[in-house]
Amino acid sequence: MITTGANDLGGFLRSRRERLTPAAAGIEPGVTHRRVPGLRREELAELAGVSVGYYTRLEQGADDSASAAVIDALATALRLDPAEHEHLRILAAPRRPRQSARPRARRTTLRPSVRELLAAMPGTPAIVVDHRADVLAWNRLGHALLAGHVDFDAPDTRVRPNIARMLFLDPHHRALYRDWNAKAQVTVAALHQAGARYPADPVLEQLVGRLAAGSPEFARMWARRPVRTCSYYLRELDHPVVGRVTLANETVTLPDDDQQMGLFYAPPGTPDADALTLLARTLDRHLTPETPSRKENAR
């Protein structure tokens, strides 16, 4: 069953328990055959200092009353990294009634000043997405770099482009990434973390369900419950206009409804920077006073 956080505490605990080997947990090997790939529930409960029955109820979703001390003890016993530890805290946080989270299904809005900021960086590809990976806006160079086959005004339409949907279901966008698997893992992890923060977002649930139904790769990655936090990557792209290019990708969190701005750049004087310059010049040749934008045509 595909979930986005509302019942995911037990699944996350189970995935990390099965990942942790007895040797890594400091448990001496026994003589009996092990029927589970990782730790047994009783082994983890002992390491965390809780009863087996209590831990079993947590993992089965029958008890969601774990204190901060218990969560920290479980994180230590499971050898979670800081990002996973924080994700566990979010999953274990007390939940409000589902109806109180319904406003999260609203369409995410973008401040006009953020749109102006994007336009003020013509030489830097930039894009803004929300917690669902919906594209809220991009500047001309960001659009040309990441989704030139999609209409520039698409973020303002009823069905916005979605980075996760394009990555798994759009062959044009998928072909852009030479490091597709790494990008896919990061994207799935981001959706998992969004699901933990907004467990009653029906739009996010629908997105995850459609991706799982349309992409076996997504379904497999989702089942592994990846969690990671990183705002910097090197992206290896195979662009249809400028060819192979490696760009730094910085992600900046905006203080608006969990929005993030992605920026792409290369050190000046490098072939990768030259490729961005070439892409920008290509745009300048195609966007002239005689070829107005779609919005201008619609006026």
Say whether both 184 and 140 belong to one domain. yes
Query: Is 2 exposed, middle or buried (CB count within 10 Å of its CB: 0-12, 13-18, 19+)?
Result: middle
Does 192 map to a domain? yes
Q: Let me know if residue 271 belongs to a domain.
A: yes
Domain of 260: which CATH number?
3.30.450.180
Residue 42: which domain range? 9-97
User: Tokens 């799935």, residue?
Assistant: 188
Same domain for 152 and 33, yes or no, is no
CA separation, residue 72 to residues 4, 23, 38, 224 (Å)? 22, 21, 20, 22
Residues 180 and 222 in one domain: yes
Residue 69 lies in a domain: yes
User: 87 burial class (0-12, 13-18, 19+ CB within 10 angstroms)?
Assistant: buried
Q: What is the pLDDT of residue 92?
A: 86
Amino acid at 225: R
- Do 270 and 184 share a domain, yes or no? yes
Q: Are residues 72 and 18 in the same domain?
A: yes
Q: Are 78 and 163 found together in one domain?
A: no
2 inside domain: no
Q: Identify whether residues 131 and 279 lie together within a single domain.
A: yes
End-to-end CA distance of the chain: 47
Q: Are strands 126-129 and 259-265 parallel, antiparallel or unpaired?
A: antiparallel
Number of domains in the chain: 2
Domain of residue 90, CATH code: 1.10.260.40
Question: Which pLDDT score is estimated for 273?
Answer: 97
Are residues 118 and 13 part of one domain? Answer: no
Do 149 and 238 belong to one domain? yes
Q: Encode burial over 242-256: b for 16+ CB neighbours within 10 A, e otherwise.
A: beebebebebeebee
Residue 63: its pLDDT value, please?
A: 74
87 in a domain, yes or no? yes
Tell me if 241 sits within 8 A of 148, measured CB to CB.
yes
| pLDDT (tens place) for every residue of the chain, 299 residues total | 455 554 588 888 988 898 898 888 888 766 556 777 789 899 999 999 999 999 998 988 777 778 889 999 999 999 998 888 988 988 888 765 444 444 446 789 999 999 999 999 999 999 999 999 999 999 999 999 999 999 999 999 999 999 999 999 999 999 999 999 999 999 999 999 998 888 888 999 999 999 999 999 999 999 988 887 767 889 999 999 999 999 999 999 998 778 999 999 999 999 999 999 999 999 987 654 444 444 444 34
Residue 124 lies in a domain: yes
Q: What angle in degrees, to the nearest 10, is found between the helix axes of 41-48 and 52-59?
A: 110
Tell me the C-alpha distance between 96 and 94, whole Å: 7
Domain boundary among 42, 74, 97: 97
Domain end residue (candidates: 97, 120, 155): 97
Residue where a domain stops, chosen among 62, 97, 132: 97
Which pLDDT belongs to residue 27?
82
- Is there a single domain that holds both residue 267 and residue 179? yes
Whether the Cβ atoms of residue 75 and residue 85 lie closer than 8 Å to each other = yes
Nearest CA-CA partner of 120 in 108, 107, 137: 137
